[in-house]
Structures are given as C-alpha cells and as structure tokens.
Chain A
C-alpha cells in the first residue's frame, strides 16, 4: 500500500507525531484499541492511586474515561492529590479531578458521576458502557462482589487496587480465557531457522551457495550466509554420524569446533565474520522446533478441542495450528531471518526462501481454518490478517486463565483452591512478598468487620484512630489467614519457619496500620504507573499482563507477582 502514495506525501500525521514514542511500541493497532476503550474508575479513600492510573491512560489517548466518586474535596486531598487545587475545597472530587485530567489530552472524553457507589451500581446496566473497570480500596465487600460478578458475566476486565503508606497491591480479574497473540517476544528468542529439518527449497539454496566452498576465493568464501554454512557442515557431520545431527551439548560443542576450524585465517582480518556468526549460532539454532509448554497447553485446552459456531477466532486458528503441528511436527514458520554477513542479493534471496515457506504455511493453516468454519457452521469468517499474525507468533502465543480475586468477607475464611499448595510453600521462601499480600487481606477483613462500638456498618480503616489497638486485631486476623492457608494446603510448617512467617507478616501489618489508610503520593504514583501499564496491555491485547496479583514494597523497593 505504501508504494501507491508518492513518498513526499508520506510525512507523519499530527496524531502520529504526538503519539510517535508509543506507536513504536504498540503500533496503530494497539492505539486504535486504546481509542475505542471506555474506562471506569470507582474511586474511594484518599483516591490518589486511581487518578494517577487514569493520568497515564489519558496521556496515551484512551477514548473515554468516567470517574465515579461521591467524595467532597477536603484539605487532606490538596497536598497529596495533584489533580485538585485549593479552590476546589468542599466541591465534588469527581468533577474537578475529571476536568484537570481532561486538560492532559484534548482527544480524550472525560465524564464523572457523583452519586454514591451503592446507588450507582443499583441502576440497571450501570456498568454496560465500560470496557474495563478500576476500583480502589476501601470498598464494601458486597459491592466488590457485585463488580466481580459483573466482570465474570460480561468478560469485562476488573482491577482492584490498594495504596496504603509504603505498600501497594493490585489484582486483575481477566476473562477465563484471555489469549495474547502479539506478545512482543525479544528478537533473540524469535529466530527459528529450521536447520535440523530444512525444507527442499532451503536445502537447494544452501547447496547452491556452498557449491565448491573449499575452492572459493576469499571474497566469496567470506560472504556465504552462515545459515548455508551450518547446513553445509551439518551435512558433513551427518555423513560421519549415521545421519544423525548433533544431539547433546558435547556433540554440539564438537560440531562448533568443526565449523570454527573450517574458517580461513589467511584473510586481511585473520578471520571470517560469517564463520564467527555460524559458530555463535550453533548452540541456539540447533534445537528441535518443539513448541513451548504454554503453546501445548493451548492445543490441549477444551476450547481448542471443542470448536463450535460460537468459538472465538483465536480458538479456531489455534485448532488449525494444532492440526498443522500434528501433521508436520512443527509450527508454521515465522519467516523472519536475522541479519547476517552476506551480499545484499544473497541475503534478499535467503529472506525470500523463508518468506515463501512462511506464506505456504499460512495458506495451509488458512485453508484448515476455512474447513473448520464450514464444519461447525460458523457464520462470520476469521480475518486472514489474524491468521497471518497468529502463524508468525505461534511459538510465543500466551493464554492467561483469568480468575476472580479474593473478596474478603467479614468472618469468612479465604479459599485458596488449587493454589493453596504452592502458596503455602511460597510462604517460607526468603524475601517472598506473599506475607504482604496476606497483610492486605487482613487489612480488608478488618475494614469489612463492623465496629462493635459504633452503630451501623460504617467501615473502619486500620490505624485511622488507635494504631496500637488495631495492630493487634489485624495481626490476629492475618494469623488466622495463614493458618487457614496451611490447613487448606494440607501441609504443616515447622518452627522456626512458622514463627518467621508470622513475624514477617506481623511487620507488614504494623507498617500498613501505621499509615492509617493514608496514601503517600510516590507509592500511589508508582502503583498508578504499574496499573496503567497493565490496563494498556489488557486493552491492546499486546505484551503479557500480570497474572493475577502484584504487590509492591516501597521500603525495600521490590515487587512480586503472585497467582492467587
């Protein structure tokens, strides 16, 4: 398409100029997904972390955001919250934070809702307009449950966020199947040259380029692409090893020496760059094209096994690629070739050998996709482009199994399910931040428990009034959570490890309670950065999002991602 437009007219548009530094990461496709999104923030508490998150979403240009917040601006908001000014005292926080955020990017539409969250959520279809929901603690457990049910029923991603003193936490509830095709693996990990099972065209190309290799002049010899060199010497090796290729590390090392010894040293530089490249590539390129366990898991998934007319396109393509793998014991060829010492024309020809094969593989997968569609009576056809992208990324496709996060209810124990065993084990890992997560759970349970001394169900924040008294209460809650986890895992943690786990957790609790529900701007800004980044990954369906909980310790400046 680019060739149809005269080059002089191809300068960037105003939008491309403004978003240049991010388009280089997620491309026009990702940008479009952002622009079609509408994000709801249900804000509460000091409310800084939610706004710091939105700030980093308004800047790159999401389509719409809405802030639900019934709080009125107080003195305490003014110091810690950058999106409020002195003159907003006593007015609705939602309105003014919304207006100041809108200033950051005229392309973004901002809305606000000031009615209390209970009333807002009671309206029918209240959450319908939103593609993604952010909710900050504290929030009453029944409301969080309601949001969680909505997320699961409608496949709407839901984020639950804490920022308390020097600590923060967020959990992501993704749909049960959240596949990412465009994971942006590092360029080094994507090279797939198929040197152990080359197809006829590649064999022929390599044979041509290595014809009379030994008698070539230095100039030609120094420009044979290393892919051809490796295939040539693999041929030699096979002759001496009953047709087998180098199997283990020892054999690969021997093979590497074979290649390295064949390099000419009577050149002006005393070596040959293409041979150096060949030698360097031996250990990483001579591996069988075995798909990763993550990819095999996708092939085995029930959604892939049982395709029907409702199946999303991801699963139809996955099924076709699984069939392809069964037939060829290889994934479709990605088709890219790393840069290597070679003459321009030879390199372009080599690129074409790989590209042609990749196109052939795509065509085969596409044909199978069409066959499957026919078979199950699927009405809308999968986009060809989608098949192409999937084939290119087949080895790096990632499936995240979203699951609901813990909603802590007063007086009920927390269920860990199939995660109990490995998490109970993790408790004793030195430096693990799982005890910090447990401290947050205890914090939430304390908040959810009605205060004996006050009437009604007003929530209480640990440490807001009497830190010393609250610390003891929250520590005993955390201790019960730990015991329940160990019980559910069916294991036992001996002393002194057990006492260590308790005291580590107690320290986290003490520090949480010390803050009395206060947000520190830096911790909220940092957490807002993390959450917004995860939102972008989820909306663009690019890169790999957190699965499913992340905690940050601002005292040691460390984070940990835990699947709970």
Chain B
C-alpha cells in the first residue's frame, strides 16, 4: 500500500471534497433509468404512471392505440426494473386479460428484446416502441395465445371481430376477457 495514495494524489486534479460522505449514492440502475426516462418519447397514445414517484424503477405504462385492430383499447403494462439493470432487461407484464396472439392470458409478453435479444445498450424507449408495435402488427407466427394466432392466420376478418368482442369484455371461444375500452 506504500505508494498507492501518492499515485492517487498525482492522478487527481479535481478540487477537494468537503462534505461528509455517508449519504446514500444514486445507484447505477437509477442513473440509467433516469437517463432513459429523459429520452422517452411517448406521443399521444401512451402515458406513464408512477405509483410512488420516488421509485422510478417501478411504473405502469398505458398504451391507447389510435390505429389498427386494437384502436380504442387501453392497455396497462407494469415495468419492474431491478438494480442489475441494464445488465438484466426490465420485466414487463400486461395487467389485463386480453386477446392477443403475442400476449398470454397471464399477461406474459413475447417481445424479443425483453428476453433473448436484450442488450444493455437498448433503452426503455426501445421496449415501449416494441410494445406499441405489437398492437399495430400482431404476429401470428410462434404465438403465446395459440387460439388468437390461429384466428389471425385463418380468418383475419374473424380475428378483427374477436378483438372487438374481447376489448368490450366479451367471450371468445369460451374464454372471457377483460373490458379494456378507453374511457
């Protein structure tokens, strides 16, 4: 340890600190989320809700598509971000039971960047854009809700009708869905 501090002193050129150092530091995950939030572009179809504004690692995102088959719906997702962000991706779930080929009845979302294609360089905006896209272009290949995907593949018009029914809180093929129409 002989010379380490003198090397340190040579290294530094900043002014000296004078305050106490015992206070908690803003964590690396908080810093990154804060940066991501400041770069968020939500447009008119999305809004956030922070149940506890001091905790920016947990929030809700509401998507209200203004075009496509899911127009008129209001979809609420929870974002749970852990302290290992951005090494770990955010955990995103749909809070409602909806009829969608890429979202299962438990709210699990099949979006590549939430799992296998997550990289720390991706940000929350990329995730939000991805979610928005799911409502514009539901994808029938490799679905989470197989019935919905089958409908979309076989009969696009029938699928559209089913979406409307489900959005209104009706049943599709014996499965009842939550009413998620925009108020």
Residues in chain A within 8 A of chain B (CB atoms): 218-219, 222-223, 268-269
Contact = CB atoms under 8 A, between A and B. Distances in A.
Contact of A223 (B112, B139, B141): B141
Interface in B133-181: 137-141, 153
B98 to A, nearest CB: 18
A223 B141 CA distance: 9
Contacts of A268: 137-139
Contacts, number: 11
Interface of B: 112, 137-141, 153
Nearest to A272: B141
A68 B112 CA distance: 60
Contacts of A223: 141
A342 to B, nearest CB: 11
- From A218, A219, A223, A268, residue with most partner B Cβ within 10 Å: A268
A33 B172 CA distance: 60
Contacts of B141: 218-219, 222-223
B140 A219 contact: yes
Nearest to B134: A268
A316 B141 CA distance: 51
A219 B153 contact: yes
A68 B138 CA distance: 73
Nearest to A222: B141
Interface of B (DSSP majority class): loop
A218 B112 CA distance: 19
Contacts of A219: 140-141, 153
A359 B139 CA distance: 40
8 contacts: A218-B141, A219-B141, A219-B153, A222-B141, A223-B141, A268-B137, A268-B138, A269-B112
**8 cross-chain pairs, A with B, having the tightest CB-CB distances, nearest first:** A268-B139, A268-B137, A219-B141, A222-B141, A219-B153, A219-B140, A269-B139, A218-B141
B120 to A, nearest CB: 21
A268 B142 CA distance: 12
A347 to B, nearest CB: 13
Nearest to A223: B141
A154 to B, nearest CB: 52
Nearest to A219: B141
Contacts of B112: 269
Contacts of A222: 141
B149 to A, nearest CB: 10
Nearest to B137: A268
Given A223-B141, A269-B112, 9 more contacts: A218-B141, A219-B140, A219-B141, A219-B153, A222-B141, A268-B137, A268-B138, A268-B139, A269-B139
B172 to A, nearest CB: 21
Nearest to B140: A219
A222 B139 CA distance: 12
Nearest to A270: B137
Nearest to B139: A268
A343 to B, nearest CB: 9
A553 to B, nearest CB: 21
Contacts of B139: 268-269
A268 B140 CA distance: 9
A219 B142 CA distance: 9
A40 B137 CA distance: 69
Nearest to A217: B153
A403 to B, nearest CB: 45
A218 B141 CA distance: 9
A162 to B, nearest CB: 30
B65 to A, nearest CB: 15
Nearest to A269: B139
B113 to A, nearest CB: 11
- From B138, B140, B141, residue with most partner A Cβ within 10 Å: B141
A222 B143 CA distance: 14
Contacts of B153: 219
Contacts of A269: 112, 139
Nearest to A221: B141
A526 B169 CA distance: 66
Contacts of B140: 219
A216 to B, nearest CB: 12
Contacts of B137: 268
B135 to A, nearest CB: 12
A225 to B, nearest CB: 14
A218 B137 CA distance: 14
A268 B149 CA distance: 14
A218 B139 CA distance: 11
A219 B140 CA distance: 8
A219 B143 CA distance: 11
A516 B138 CA distance: 75
A479 to B, nearest CB: 33
A228 B34 CA distance: 47
A347 B147 CA distance: 23
Contacts of B138: 268
A454 to B, nearest CB: 40
A218 B140 CA distance: 10
B100 to A, nearest CB: 13
A272 to B, nearest CB: 10
A176 B108 CA distance: 59
A269 B138 CA distance: 10
A219 B137 CA distance: 15
Nearest to A220: B141
Nearest to B153: A219
Nearest to B136: A268
A93 B170 CA distance: 82
A269 B112 CA distance: 10
A223 B143 CA distance: 13
A222 B153 CA distance: 14
A222 B142 CA distance: 10
